[in-house]
Structure 1
Amino acid sequence: MKPTYFTVDRTLKEETVHRTVVLPVACYETEICHHFNGFIPLHWHEEVQFVYVLKGEAVFRVNEEDVRVVKGDGLFINSGAMHMAEDRENSQCRYLCLNVSPHFLLPQELYPAYVEPYIRADNLAHVPIYEGDQWGSEVLKSMLLVHHLLTATPSYYEIDTAAQLGFMWKTMMANGLPLEYEQVDNGRNERMKQMLNWIHDHYEEKIGLEDIAKAGNLSRSECCRSFSRMLKKPPMRYVTDYRLQKSLALLQKPDSTVTEVAYQVGFNSTSYFIGTFRKAFGITPLVYKKKLKKKGDEKAG
């Protein structure tokens, strides 16, 4: 299967494609291993997200917690929560993903009382959905029905979709956790977003740990701890990985050279860029370019 790409903006916000303004819902199947990175990278979105694992199993990292989800079960990820996903033990994990604008869950008159408090609650970054629980089974069945409605588009499917989403949300509220608010957790997420935003704005330049820590108003040691909790990697490792990701798009340009790309994304040595690229992707940047060109020629022919 052709590798898929995951699009986020400079703040790591997913650039979700909705069907229409009238129906702000995105529902699709995805296989983690077919993403170019081999995993779903860290991101967030304003939409709430429902996940239903159809095959294999995955580990979702939501804010600072790892959540294992196996075939038949699901996961709710709240609006604004930073998350990523990895296939577990090469299980070829495939899951159904349903992203919904919070304002579309219930009529606007009910939003302040029955949606906003749950969107803002600090203890609801994620909620496991188990097939073995009656309420969980009902939510997962509704997900499948929404996917069918959006794919088949029968008469009045927009109304039926809205009805199913309202039922799912009511079921979640009736069986979810009590609402809690803890500003410390919000502060951690905001500082992490500030540091990541700064990296994305300055990755072409020379970057040091002190620069990243300063962007989040943290000490060097606390900065490292924050990255370890959220991403399981040091800050400078994240910088390198981000530079490599940016290099992929530049290498796709026919007139680009490996040396030019290396310096454009912030590497100060072509040889170091080549070695790091090979270690990450298993091939050199030049071989990557040649493969892209060959695919392009075959497509044109």
Structure 2
Amino acid sequence: MQIKNFKVDQQSLKEQTKHQTVALPIACYETEIKQNIHGYIPLHWHDEVQFVFIKKGEAIFQINEDRIVVQEGHGLFINSGCLHMAEDKDQSGCVYICLNVAPHFLLSQELYSTYVTPYIQATNLPYLYVDTNENWGENILDAIGEIKQLIEHQLACFEIDITMQLANIWKSLIVNRFNLEYVQTEVVKNERMKKMLSWIHLHYERKITLAAIAKAGELSRSECCRYFRRMLNTTPLGYVMDYRIQQSLVLLQQEDINVTEVAYQVGFNSTSYFIDKFRKSINMTPLAYKKNKIVP
């Protein structure tokens, strides 16, 4: 099994994957969650809107403050700019198709301000469960499969066919007649969370305090804790610990670095403490993980 490293910019949390297929500003690919080097898809965001279709198993998606279980045969829409992550549910071996699309490519420029802008800016539409039992949901999931086939076979005029399928997807989504809202406080909350996570990702190798994290988000320490508990179901320092462990997985894939060096590089000042926390998180020691690593 090939291990994949899902790359996220440490400063902005923005996914670094180039979402472009051929000459089109889209990406459509199949992925197995457990194949990622972290064992899950880490927290990130991107400008593109995202559609997910679960082919096998089940996945748990965290989007802003909500956790959603998406079952086999169903899907999910994730809006532009929303923080999200995904993990396999109950070792189901979840495999899904992911379609990422630059918003400007969904519809023509003449229709963009009326039919796209209000939806990608709506603060009450961070995501939408795509139910295959609903006609609109079935249309979206079928179109995702069609786009994947079009990209793989690249028959004549396939780019035009893709644009037609995208228009079908977007129309199927907006026929739900949402009461769209834009609440500035929700935008500010999302940006503060991104700032705190970004600060942690830039400084995780050093000593980190709750006060410093709160300052990055321009919050009090108590409010900072509420943000993390509400959005990530953990404490700020608990997130720091988890992030350090996940970063260590990348380093342990390298043959020329030992466990002690890894521990200090990711911010631990004690090898034994690192080993203890690693074992509790990954269910094996760092050395065992290193010896059994799977190289791409």
Fold agreement, TM-score > 0.5: yes
User: Structure 1 residues 78 and 236, CA, compared in 2 at 3 Å: closer, same or farther?
Assistant: same
Which residue of structure 1 aligns with residue 2 of structure 2? 2
* 1:61–1:84 contact (8 Å) kept in structure 2: yes
Q: How does 1:1-301 map to 2 (within 5 A)?
A: 1-10=1-10, 11-20=12-21, 22-292=23-293
The more displaced of 15-24 and 114-123 is 15-24
The more displaced of 122-131 and 244-253 is 244-253
CA–CA distance in structure 2, aligned partners of residues 42 and 176 of structure 1: 30
What secondary structure, in the 3-state scheme, does the structure 1 residue paired with 2:50 have? Answer: strand
The unaligned stretches of length 5 or more in structure 1 are none
User: Structure 1 residues 70 and 289, CA, compared in 2 at 3 Å: closer, same or farther?
Assistant: closer
What secondary structure, in the 3-state scheme, does the structure 2 residue paired with 1:124 have? Answer: coil
The letter for the 2-side match of 1:83 is: H
What secondary structure, in the 3-state scheme, does the structure 1 residue paired with 2:6 have? Answer: coil
Aligned-residue Cα RMSD (Å) equals 1.8
What is the Cα deviation at residue 79 of structure 1? 0.3
User: Structure 1 residues 96 and 176, CA, compared in 2 at 3 Å: closer, same or farther?
Assistant: farther
* 2:37–2:250 contact (8 Å) kept in structure 1: no
What is the Cα deviation at residue 168 of structure 1? 0.9
CA–CA distance in structure 2, aligned partners of residues 38 and 81 of structure 1: 21
TM-score, normalized by length of structure 1? 0.92
CA–CA distance in structure 1, aligned partners of residues 145 and 22 of structure 2: 22
* 2:37–2:249 contact (8 Å) kept in structure 1: no
CA–CA distance in structure 1, aligned partners of residues 292 and 69 of structure 2: 35
The letter for the 2-side match of 1:7 is: K
What secondary structure, in the 3-state scheme, does the structure 1 residue paired with 2:109 have? Answer: coil
> 1 or 2 for the larger relative contact order (CA 8 Å, sep ≥6)?
2
* 1:195–1:216 contact (8 Å) kept in structure 2: yes
CA–CA distance in structure 2, aligned partners of residues 275 and 125 of structure 1: 37
The letter for the 1-side match of 2:65 is: E
Runs of 4+ more than 4 Å apart: none
Residue deviations 1:175-197, cap 9 Å, x none? 25221111121111111001011
* 1:46–1:80 contact (8 Å) kept in structure 2: yes
CA–CA distance in structure 2, aligned partners of residues 230 and 176 of structure 1: 27
What is the Cα deviation at residue 199 of structure 1? 0.6
What is the Cα deviation at residue 112 of structure 1? 2.1
What is the Cα deviation at residue 99 of structure 1? 0.5
What secondary structure, in the 3-state scheme, does the structure 2 residue paired with 1:127 have? Answer: strand
The letter for the 1-side match of 2:9 is: D
* 2:122–2:180 contact (8 Å) kept in structure 1: yes
The more displaced of 224-233 and 4-13 is 4-13
Q: Across the two proteins, how many residue pairs are aligned to each other?
A: 295
Residue deviations 1:115-158, cap 9 Å, x none? 11211110110111111111111111111100110111111111
What is the Cα deviation at residue 17 of structure 1? 2.5
What is the Cα deviation at residue 269 of structure 1? 0.7
* 1:127–1:176 contact (8 Å) kept in structure 2: no
Identity %: 56
What is the Cα deviation at residue 20 of structure 1? 4.5
CA–CA distance in structure 2, aligned partners of residues 256 and 70 of structure 1: 40
Residue deviations 1:13-42, cap 9 Å, x none? 112223347301111112223333332221
The unaligned stretches of length 5 or more in structure 2 are none
